[in-house]
Structure 1
Amino acid sequence: MENALLSIDALWVMLSAILVIFMQAGFALLEAGSTRMKNAGHVAGKQLLSFSLVGLVFWAVGYGIAFGDSLNGFLGTSGWLLNLPQAEGEVPLEIFFLFQMAFAAVSAAIAWGGFAERAKLGVYIIFGILFTAIIYPVVAHWIWGDGGWLAEAGKQDFAGSTVVHLTGGVAALVATLMLGPRIGKYTSDGKPNAIPGHNQVYTVLGVAIIWLGWFGFNPGSTLSVADGFFGYVALTTYLAAAAGALAALGTVKLALGKADVPMMLNGVLAGLVAITAACAFVEPWAAVIVGAIAGSLTVFTSVYFEKKGIDDPIYAFSVHGIAGIWGTLSTGFFASPRLVEITETGQPGLFYGGGIHQLIVQAEGVLAAGAFVGVTSFIILWILNKTMGLRVTEEDEVMGLDLSEHGTYGYPEQMAQETGSSQGPTV
């Protein structure tokens, strides 16, 4: 019987890994649809490029740093090339690796949003390797690793509002700031110009796929089907996403007078990001509040950052960074005593009489992870800027990265009509 249950758990985690991997298709559609036609092939293609890089680097070193034997709670020091013993009674190592690798790939996909439409392809490759080898796994070890210092403190981050989303969002923000705005984004007096994405249908389909994949992301993090708790996690995940969508749509309608579809989509994602930490710790009513606040926050912060000269093409920091911060802190308010007992992680939240202890632990995690990712990302990108340059030339940016980096457009016939050019690779 025990072997049968373990087999079912293994199958569940493998299915969840596949769902999270499929989120890469969603990110490809979301990011390509949110950017201009002349960059669509590049933006979509780099999704598979980064997924390939992340898989190999996480297998070689990243998994060991995240989940190997702990060095003073800071990083793992074993498990290179997945050379770790199989723990008795646990999901097979290879399946757990694929599940965790998919999480690392999502974090990298978030980070790429800050590079969109103006970064060199080589920068993606080098930063992607270092992000997966150094930045992401260290944060993962702190919070999820056996002996990680935040794990020992009882930090509640069930599926990665901090580990995955804040990490990717902060890296995206650093890249956005260092690259500077896209050409034409701001007028001479600093007012932002709208640069709409080329295909809103792609963005809707992309978010729908990501939402579906999230049912592997959060419920899959139970790593078990034995008590059916994965169903509860799926419920809170859905409620928060739905609340985020409606809150964002209502907020943007009230603030700007239009029911903006991209903002609604960002609300879905923000709700999902926020509940990712809290999905196993809060009651359904609290999940609705967590998602709704995240949806509204992403509208206000997106508009604010844009007015301040921060050109974040897919609003990666607002959607993943800000919502990741809120979601992480939310358990300090809403963590239910009965769910804390079930998960055996941390303490109840402030609104249940648990005091401010858990909120302080959550805030420590946000500050530590944000500072580490921000500083490390800046150092890596500063070195890359001094050695190879981060940004393509003005001519290449105007031409579009499809043609300048890859030799052909993602939409060759359409772009040929618009530019009067038939440029492409010569065979």
Structure 2
Amino acid sequence: MEELLLTTNNLWMMLCIALVFIMHLGFSLLEIGLTRQKNTINILFKNIFIICAGLLLYYFIGFSLMYPGDFNGYLGFASFGLELPSNGLTSEYAESGYTFWTDFLFQAMFAATAATIVSGAVAERVKIQAFVLFSIIYVGLIYPIVGSWLWGGGFLEEFGFYDFAGSTIVHSVGGWAALVFIYLLGARYGKFKKNKSLAIRGHNLPLAVMGLFLLWFGWFGFNGGSVLSAQPGLTSKVLVTTSLAAAGGGISAALITLFLYKSLDVTMFINGVLGGLVGITAGADLMSPTQAILIGLIAGVVVILAVRLIDRLHLDDPVGAIPVHLFCGIWGTLAVGVFGEMASWNQLWIQFSSLLIIGSFCMVSSVIITLVLKYSVGLRVSNKAEIEGLDKHEHGMQAYADFGIQNN
């Protein structure tokens, strides 16, 4: 019976790994759809690099940093690479939820997501070398250290902080880094003129919508897999709350956009849905369906207000990564203390205090990493490269072939 339970649970977890993996395709399509054609190859390259480097880094050091075993609660390290525990393939590991290898791969997918958030925010003007080095350090060191504080049994777990699937541990960790990076990187050429924010349109909104649906699809694995078993009642509840929050976020963002701008803007609709997904991620297992809808509705409003704030601060985020992942990540984390089974003033204080700790650590780390890169390899491409496109100058190719007749 235990072997059957392990097989069933592990099969579900492996399916969730595949779903989270598909999210990287979703991020790729969303980012290229919301940016200009001349930078498509650059964005695709970054997204492929993130998953390749993320897996390798998480294998060699990340997993051991995040799950070091017995440690002081702040920083620990088990070993380089992975060593299969004696019970790693038995029902004793993770209470028949999954095997050691499944555990590693599921968590590795989460690690890569944090760097993907940064990719979209710095699009269309960052040097590829700077982004590659930043991703290596952030995914290899910063993300797993923060993760160990909660999911690895560290001091935030003892403090009582709760983050079911990563509104803070994944999404705001990536969001804080993105915020620091775009501040030091600067806005794209032509984004702000005479203190006015000008729209730079994406070249393929159908691709962006495809990216949205792939991300929503993948979120069933992101949140559903965070149950860490195929337990039917809780898993099905999490899938329901996840979907309802996404729908609520999309509807409220669309309505607020219509009210403020007299326009049914599909890009705001997209980010409203994503904001609802990020918002529910911290407490998807704790909320009733109605509470999930409320969290999503508020997340949609948060996205629109955050976009306006980012523009007023003259910060340039081409895909809305910071409003979605940072601001809605913060909201979702705080919502655990407002709605659901753990709601209380004490829990709200714990959630808020933990956010401050994680946000401070991520921002300080990001400032150090980014400044070192700025004064070594440099952060930004030349004006000529930015105007003509990163595909040409960074990669020497174009995304869409010219099928016209060529003279030899």
User: What TM-score bracket applies, with the shorter chain setting the length?
Assistant: over 0.9
Q: 2:216 aligns with which of 211, 220, 226?
A: 211
Q: Structure 2 CA distance, aligned partners of 1:117 and 1:209?
A: 23
Q: 1:310 aligns with which of 315, 319, 334?
A: 315
Q: Structure 2 CA distance, aligned partners of 1:79 and 1:196?
A: 47
Name the counterpart of 2:278.
273
Name the counterpart of 2:191.
185
Name the counterpart of 1:22.
22
Name the counterpart of 2:77.
77
Q: 2:343 aligns with which of 349, 367, 374?
A: 349
Contact 1:42 1:410 in 2 (8 A): no
Q: Percent same amino acid among aligned pairs? A: 41
Equivalent AA in structure 2 for residue 121 of structure 1: I
The CA deviation string for residues 7-44 of structure 1, in whole angstroms up to 9 with x for no partner, is: 11111111101100110000000001111000011112
Number of matched pairs = 399
Name the counterpart of 1:162.
168
TM-score norm. by structure 2 comes to 0.95
The CA deviation string for residues 200-223 of structure 1, in whole angstroms up to 9 with x for no partner, is: 001100000000000000011111
Contact 1:158 1:221 in 2 (8 A): yes
RMSD between aligned residues = 1.5
Name the counterpart of 2:116.
109
Report the alpha carbon displacement of residue 114 of structure 1 after superposing the two structures with TM.
Answer: 2.1
Structure 1 window deviating more from structure 2 (107-116 vs 51-60): it is 107-116
Q: 2:200 aligns with which of 195, 203, 223?
A: 195
Structure 1 window deviating more from structure 2 (74-83 vs 41-50): it is 74-83
Report the alpha carbon displacement of residue 227 of structure 1 after superposing the two structures with TM.
Answer: 4.3
Name the counterpart of 2:135.
128
Contact 1:166 1:322 in 2 (8 A): yes
Q: Structure 1 CA distance, aligned partners of 2:274 and 2:76?
A: 31
Q: 2:301 aligns with which of 293, 296, 301?
A: 296
Contact 1:63 1:80 in 2 (8 A): no
Matched, 1:364 2:353: yes
Name the counterpart of 2:287.
282
Residue segments in structure 2 that go unaligned for 5+ positions in a row: none
Name the counterpart of 2:3.
3
Equivalent AA in structure 2 for residue 407 of structure 1: G
Q: Structure 2 CA distance, aligned partners of 1:200 and 1:323?
A: 23
Equivalent AA in structure 2 for residue 411 of structure 1: Y
Q: Which runs of 4+ in 1 moved over 4 A?
A: none
Matched, 1:40 2:51: no
Q: 1:145 aligns with which of 144, 149, 152?
A: 152
The CA deviation string for residues 45-94 of structure 1, in whole angstroms up to 9 with x for no partner, is: 21111110111001110111111124321133104211252452422111
Equivalent AA in structure 2 for residue 94 of structure 1: W
Q: 2:380 aligns with which of 377, 385, 391?
A: 391
Matched, 1:404 2:404: no
Equivalent AA in structure 2 for residue 269 of structure 1: L
Q: How does 1:62-73 map to 2 (within 5 A)?
A: 62-73=62-73
The CA deviation string for residues 141-160 of structure 1, in whole angstroms up to 9 with x for no partner, is: 111112x1111122110000
Q: 1:171 aligns with which of 164, 172, 177?
A: 177
The structure-2 alpha-carbon separation of the partners of 1:77 and 1:319, relative to structure 1 and needing over 3 Å to count, comes to: same
Q: How does 1:83-94 map to 2 (within 5 A)?
A: 83-85=83-85, 86-87=87-88, 88-90=92-94, 91-94=98-101
